[in-house]
Amino acid sequence: MPVAVGPYGQAQPGCFDRVKMGFMMGFAVGMAAGAMFGTFSCLRIGMRGRELMGGVGKTMMQSGGTFGTFMSIGMGIRC
Amino acid sequence: MEEYAREPCPWRIVDDCGGAFTMGAIGGGIFQSVKGFRNSPAGINHRLRGSMTAIKTRAPQLGGSFAVWGGLFSTIDCSLVQLRGKEDPWNSITSGAMTGAILAARNGPVAMLGSAAMGGILLALIEGAGILLTRFASSQFPTGPQFAEEPAPPMPAPSFGDYRQYQ
């Protein structure tokens, strides 16, 4: 793969790098979103204490994974 | 991401709509294949067929709802750009919230409020992540472009709220 050089003389990230970066960013955003929405929904169904921590963690991982996958696809289809 | 050139405004709507459809269809294909595989009766043939059926029924649906989200989102985004005369993260956040509200309009005001909050929060998170990322990238390369004001591509954003909402 030829290394494209940007207008500022710095190497542009390659395709796989962008997909990876999209995944990381999506994962971070999904974790944050999952922390918020997961806390609300777990509190609403009556989880407290350790159970709440587990529930929120699970929601965070799930939404991080989903979001990261979609974000990396979104990056992948336009490079 | 710095070289991510967004389309000029009217065409951005088409671009986002199609991109969102593709993304939803591919992502829906991946997720639904796993789901269909797991929900089928035992036996590899049944499982493969169930996975195929799930993809064929659900992936285009998911792509369609992504496309609606993306199209409406960038329509509102472009309208806000025209109205306010500037492009900043608030445009994306507002249009995410409005898209959520409009798409939940048939479910009543409470659902509209919830959906709008969800869309706004998601878009705010994505914009924040984009700003942090560009700031980090530009601090890594001090001679690099200073793009801290540039909003992140909001396109992948719409997906998640929609994904949950129509499940």
pLDDT band of B140, cuts 50, 70, 90: low
pLDDT band of A79, cuts 50, 70, 90: confident
Chain segment B18-39, per-residue pLDDT in tens: 999 999 999 999 999 998 888 8
Q: Which residues are paired to A44 by β-bridges? A: none
pLDDT value at residue B24 = 92
Query: Which residue is closest to B119 within chain A, CA to CA?
Result: A33
CA angle A25-B87-B159, nearest 5°?
40
Q: Which residues are paired to A11 by β-bridges? A: A5
pLDDT value at residue A53 = 87
Chain segment B77-87, per-residue pLDDT in tens: 999 988 888 88
Average pLDDT, chain B: 80
Give the start-to-end residue ranges of the domains of chain B.
Answer: 7-85, 88-126
Asked if the C-beta of A21 comes within 8 angstroms of chain B's C-beta atoms, the answer is yes
Instruction: Return all residues near B20 (Cβ < 8 A) that are at least 6 apart.
Output: B63, B66, B67, B69, B70, B71, B155, B158, B159
Plot region of B85 (φ>0 → left; ψ -120 to 50 → alpha; else → beta): left
A69 contact residues in B (CB cutoff 8 A) = 27, 30-31
Restricting to A residues 24-43, those with a Cβ less than 8 Å away from any Cβ of B are 25-26, 28-30, 32-33, 36-37
Chain segment A38-78, per-residue pLDDT in tens: 998 888 888 788 888 888 999 999 999 999 999 899 888 88
Cross-chain residue pair A29–B2, CB shorter than 8 Å: no
Cross-chain residue pair B26–A9, CB shorter than 8 Å: no
Asked if the C-beta of B129 comes within 8 angstroms of chain A's C-beta atoms, the answer is yes
Q: Say if residue B64's pLDDT is above 90.
A: yes
pLDDT band of A14, cuts 50, 70, 90: confident
Q: What is the DSSP string of B65-77?
A: HHHHHHHHHHHHH
Cross-chain residue pair A66–B31, CB shorter than 8 Å: yes
pLDDT value at residue A12 = 64
Q: Which of B108, B143, B20, B120 is nearest to B71 (CA)?
A: B20
pLDDT value at residue A5 = 52
What percent of chain B stands above pLDDT 70?
80
Average pLDDT over residues B153-161: 47
Cross-chain residue pair B129–A78, CB shorter than 8 Å: no
pLDDT band of B150, cuts 50, 70, 90: very low
B131 contact residues in A (CB cutoff 8 A) = none
Q: Which of A8, A18, A25 sits opposite B144 (nearest CB)?
A: A8
